């Protein structure tokens, strides 16, 4: 059989197309089929509720830390609850000092990872819950999480992140993420964890190394490597406001991609097929979707331009679809509220674009990386400018 240049182009285009669609289409179909007929076991109230230590790593959160403490003390969790606030600035530490609350104050910015390490090491309960100062927990969230630890195979429980998004663009993304996590959890494990609400057994925690930029996924990998499971509980949710502007969300998502790529590079041994039960999830849910897929997309566009000039209808159709996607993204970016299908297309192109930005930032970073942290303010107030110096300026660059 003779392989012609035309057939090679078709094979190349097919492989690139498969890679482009893998994270957003192929993997969701795969995990949907694999979890078909499977339901996560229903968690029941234990006879004795376990003691919880809630750790909040807080920096420049003086405006919201009081409300967070009120939320935690008012949750009516039936078991013993310890609250530890790790504050790296004096204003937050002062605002957090209340009876029954342990405040760890360093007097200098040590970063979130070190704050998490210090908070967990100070915890006295068998179950530790991490939550953010500005994440508003839904009613009964602590109960919903604690139920799962009656199963000795469960090492961590991931809560659900919900976004109050009037435009619907960011909200759709989190609904899609929630569906993926539920399907993954039904198969036994999910790595779709968020720092807004994550609980784990203290005994499996290992100190997070210096330079790591994402604590939640790192902890989840440690749990799975210890032979325990990470499950998802959608009724234990937190609510956050959407990014105030498209530019803010653009920057936030680029940072997220960059720090997750840094995590995967540091833990690259888990990418080897068969290394962990969650290795297929790492490839489908994280790596391909946030790097190889978008790069394959750009390559396909580059190949489609000369093919369209040669008269290829398929190439012209592909380029026309991309034009629609770019127009949809531009409409959303300008603050318009187009019909739902248009917003959906725009969101897909948004994810592809920020992934490329995240790859570029990750590859261009020198050393460790994080991002500037603005002062948290009460609703309606104007945020102060971020501090002039930060722990990791490399990934903080716009």
Residue 369 confidence (pLDDT): 41
Assign domain 52-242 to a CATH class: alpha beta
Query: What values do phi and psi take at 85, rounded to 5?
Result: -105, 120
Count CA atoms closer than 13 A to 309's CA, side-chain side. 5
pLDDT band at 334 (very low <50, low <70, confident <90, very high): confident
The gap from C-alpha 214 to its chain's centroid, in whole angstroms, comes to: 9
Q: Residue 99 pLDDT > 70, yes or no?
A: yes
Q: Which of 95, 158, 371 is nearest to 250 (CA)?
A: 371
Q: Which of 41, 128, 115, 118 is nearest to 81 (CA)?
A: 128
Q: Look at 40-44, 324-328, 368-372 and tell me which has the smallest mean pLDDT.
A: 368-372
User: What is the side-by-side strand order in the sheet with 52-58?
Assistant: 101-105, 81-87, 52-58, 127-131, 197-201, 154-164, 229-241, 136-137
Q: Which of 69, 101, 105 is nearest to 86 (CA)?
A: 105
Q: Is 24 helix (H, G, I), strand (E, B) or coil?
A: helix
Q: What does the longest C-alpha to C-alpha distance in the chain come to?
A: 80
With the C-alpha atoms ordered 213, 217, 220, 225, is the resulting torsion angle positive or negative?
Answer: negative
Tokens of 325: 């996607």
Q: Residue 395 pLDDT > 50, yes or no?
A: no
β-bridge mates for residue 237, sequence order: 160
Q: Look at 72-81, 139-148, 286-295, 374-383 and tell me which has the smallest mean pLDDT.
A: 374-383
Q: How far apart are CA 337 and CA 92, in angstroms?
A: 38
Q: Residue 13 pLDDT > 70, yes or no?
A: yes
Q: Tokens 């619907």 sit at which residue? A: 168
Strands 229-241 and 136-137: antiparallel
Count CA atoms closer than 13 A to 75's CA, side-chain side. 29
What pTM did the predictor assign? 0.86
Tokens of 300: 């396909």
pLDDT band at 169 (very low <50, low <70, confident <90, very high): low
pLDDT band at 249 (very low <50, low <70, confident <90, very high): confident
Q: Is 189 helix (H, G, I), strand (E, B) or coil?
A: coil
Residue 240 confidence (pLDDT): 79
Residue 328 confidence (pLDDT): 87
> 319: buried, middle or exposed (CB in 10 Å: 19+, 13-18, 0-12)?
middle
pLDDT band at 168 (very low <50, low <70, confident <90, very high): low
Q: Which of 135, 9, 138 is nearest to 65 (CA)?
A: 135
Query: What values do phi and psi take at 174, rounded to 5?
Result: -70, -30
pLDDT tens-digit readout, 253-302: 899 999 999 999 999 999 999 999 999 999 998 999 999 999 999 999 99
- Angle of CA points 140, 176, 371, to nearest 5°: 80
Alpha helices for 267-312 (secondary structure H): 279-281, 293-309
- Average pLDDT (33-39) is 90
Q: How far apart are CA 355 and CA 201, in angstroms?
A: 32
With the C-alpha atoms ordered 238, 330, 247, 263, is the resulting torsion angle positive or negative?
Answer: positive
pLDDT tens-digit readout, 182-228: 999 999 999 989 889 999 999 999 999 999 999 999 999 999 999 99
- Average pLDDT (223-251) is 88
Determine what percent of the chain is predicted with pLDDT higher than 70. 88
Return residue ranges of the chain for CATH 3.90.550.10: 52-242
Q: How far apart are CA 366 and CA 233, in angstroms?
A: 37
């Amino acid at each position: 059989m003779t392989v012609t240049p035309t057939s090679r182009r078709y094979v190349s285009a097919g492989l690139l197309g498969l890679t482009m669609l893998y994270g957003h289409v192929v993997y969701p179909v795969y995990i949907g089929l694999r979890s078909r007929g499977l339901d996560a076991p229903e968690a029941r109230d234990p006879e004795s509720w376990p003691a919880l230590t809630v750790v909040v790593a807080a920096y420049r959160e003086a405006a919201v830390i009081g409300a967070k403490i009120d939320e935690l003390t008012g949750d009516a969790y039936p078991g013993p609850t310890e609250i530890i606030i790790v504050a790296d600035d004096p204003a937050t530490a002062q605002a957090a000092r209340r009876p029954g609350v342990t405040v760890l104050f360093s007097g200098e910015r040590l970063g979130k990872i070190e704050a998490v390490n210090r908070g967990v090491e100070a915890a006295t309960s068998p179950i530790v819950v991490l939550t953010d100062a500005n994440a508003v927990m839904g009613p009964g969230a602590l109960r919903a999480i604690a139920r799962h630890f009656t199963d000795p195979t469960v090492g961590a429980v991931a809560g659900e992140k919900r976004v109050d998004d009037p435009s619907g663009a960011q909200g759709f993304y989190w609904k899609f993420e929630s569906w993926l996590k539920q399907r993954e959890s039904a198969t036994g494990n999910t790595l779709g964890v968020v720092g807004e609400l994550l609980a784990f057994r203290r005994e499996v925690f290992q100190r997070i190394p210096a330079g790591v930029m994402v604590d939640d996924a790192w902890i989840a990998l440690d749990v799975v490597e210890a032979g325990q499971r990470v499950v998802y509980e959608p009724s234990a949710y937190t609510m956050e406001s959407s990014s105030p502007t498209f530019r803010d969300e653009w920057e936030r998502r680029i940072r997220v991609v960059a720090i997750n790529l840094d995590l995967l590079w540091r833990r690259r041994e888990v990418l080897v097929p068969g290394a962990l039960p969650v290795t297929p999830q790492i490839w489908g849910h994280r790596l391909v979707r946030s790097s190889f897929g978008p790069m394959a997309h750009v390559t396909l566009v580059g190949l489609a331009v000369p093919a369209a000039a040669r008269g290829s209808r398929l190439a012209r159709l592909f380029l026309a679809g991309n034009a629609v996607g770019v127009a949809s993204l531009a409409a959303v970016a300008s603050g318009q509220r187009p019909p739902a299908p248009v917003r959906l297309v725009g969101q897909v192109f948004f994810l592809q674009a920020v992934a490329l930005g995240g790859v570029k930032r990750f590859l261009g970073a020198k050393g460790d990386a994080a991002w500037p942290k603005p002062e948290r303010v009460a609703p309606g107030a104007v945020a102060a400018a971020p501090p002039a110096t930060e722990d990791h300026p490399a990934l903080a660059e716009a």
